[in-house]
Amino acid sequence: MRPPSRPAWSRGAVDRGSAPVEIVLLTPVLVVLIMLAVVGGTAASVRIEADAAAAAAARAASLQRDSAAAVAEAENTAMASLSGRCQSPQVDIDADLAPGGTVTVTVTCTLDTTGLPAFGTHTITATAASPVDAWRAETRS
């Protein structure tokens, strides 16, 4: 026995109005996914900038002749390399300026998530080292 057939005008009537409901239910999920993508992209961008700032600061410090000049040059170079998205950047320098030594710079900054307060703050740290030329002449005081 066959089930009774429905009239042509009533086919699909069960699905009417389901698309707007699905859109209303999925919109918050899509907004959260977009916010996660923005925060992830910003964090990756700031991480790349911090790595580049640490490398540039280490190289600039390794070219200096004394510790005071190396520290000042590393800080100036790192601050100039970082964009405004990094809150309260800190630069730590460990310099062995003897020929063949190594200068290590660590840049630490807090990711600014203004506009996306639900994600809080993220601390990003980057470290780079640069060798001091083994053949450079030592300065005499």
CATH of the domain at 64: 3.30.1300
| In a domain? residue 6 | no
| In a domain? residue 62 | yes
| In a domain? residue 100 | yes
Domain membership of residue 30 as a residue range: 20-131
| In a domain? residue 5 | no
| In a domain? residue 47 | yes
| In a domain? residue 3 | no
State how far the alpha carbon of 125 is from the alpha carbons of 4, 71, 97, 106, in Å: 71, 18, 23, 7
Query: How far apart are alpha carbons 59 and 130 in whole angstroms?
Result: 5
Q: How confident is the model at residue 111 (pLDDT cuts 50, 70, 90)?
A: confident
Alpha-carbon torsion (117, 119, 125, 126), positive or negative: negative
How many domains does the chain divide into? Answer: 1
Q: How confident is the model at residue 12 (pLDDT cuts 50, 70, 90)?
A: low
pTM of the model: 0.75
Please state the rounded mean pLDDT for residues 106-116: 80
| In a domain? residue 136 | no
Higher pLDDT among residues 50 and 35, named by residue: 50
Residues 17-29: pLDDT tens digits?
778 888 888 999 9
HSE of 74 in the Cβ direction (CA atoms, 13 Å)? 31
pLDDT at 105: 96
pLDDT at 121: 79
Please state the rounded mean pLDDT for residues 46-75: 93
